Amino acid sequence: MSGGRRWILVVPIAVLVTALLAGAVTWARGGTIERDLTADSGAALVGAGLAKGNVTFDGRDASLSGFAPDQALRALEIVQNVDGVRTAQLQGDVTPVAPSSATPAPVPTTAPATSSPPPTTSATAPPPPTDKAGVQAEIDRMLAEAPITFVPDTAQLTPEGEQAARAVAIALAKSPDTFRYRVTGHVGRGPGGESAALKLSRDRARAVARILTTNGLTAKRVTSRGLGDTRPATGGEEDRRVEIMVV
């Protein structure tokens, strides 16, 4: 009986030791990933001439602080593109602004003698929609006029596709802060089979989501997913599409 009791005590101790060792290994790996991503992000920022700022990591999620407003968007985009980074967002109350080198044209002090009188009324652009249906309609209109396109068989956006994604991001940045968006990638049927189609659709959705989060939207407002070739549209080019939905 005494030998049996000793075995009963030994087994829980062995399980506890194994769990502690596994936890220590996981903690060490996590610390290594964060250190590596911090070093890689710092090197990328220094290479771009953006050394005045701080980058910290929680796992693979980056937080940026201390960057000047005219450098914040560029720094965010650089860190987001570092291999291994999942998300990146700005901390604090910095309001990113796009750098501009253009100088305003001088305003004439007197009008030419032949100029016509100024009009009594002027047309103004309508305010951006603030309801979900209106925002979704604006997204659909923009994507219909300028679809988000990719280099064939890759997740790399074409110049026109990147411009279209940035235009949507700028428009959505003006929407209510409570709105969330889901980016869904679709591809056509190809020789690689379902697994290849699913991976490509996911990569394309993530590429578009990255454009949205580096041009005004916070990472928590954007999710992405890929559906492969499971939802064809017409069997043509429209099968290869990216949809952005208000959720």
HEC-encoded secondary structure of 122-162: CCCCCCCCCCHHHHHHHHHHHHHHCCCCECCCCCCECHHHH
Per-residue pLDDT averaged across 15-29, rounded?
A: 50
Give the separation between CA 167 and CA 13, rounded to whole angstroms.
60
Task: Give me the pLDDT at residue 25, please.
Answer: 42
pTM beyond cutoff 0.85? no
Give the separation between CA 133 and CA 139, rounded to whole angstroms.
10
Tell me the average pLDDT of the chain. 78
Task: Give me the pLDDT at residue 104, please.
Answer: 52
What pLDDT band is residue 221 in, cutting at 50, 70 and 90? very high
**Which of the pair, 122 or 48, is modelled with greater confidence?**
48
Distance of CA 134 to the CA centre of its chain: 23
Percent of the chain with pLDDT over 70: 72
Cβ proximity of 165 and 143 under 8 Å: no
Task: Give me the pLDDT at residue 126, please.
Answer: 62
User: Which helix (H) or strand (E) is 165 found in, with range?
Assistant: helix 159-172
Q: What is the DSSP letter of 100?
A: -
| Candidate from 2-11, 71-80, 178-187, 234-243 with smallest mean pLDDT | 2-11
Per-residue pLDDT averaged across 178-197, rounded?
A: 87
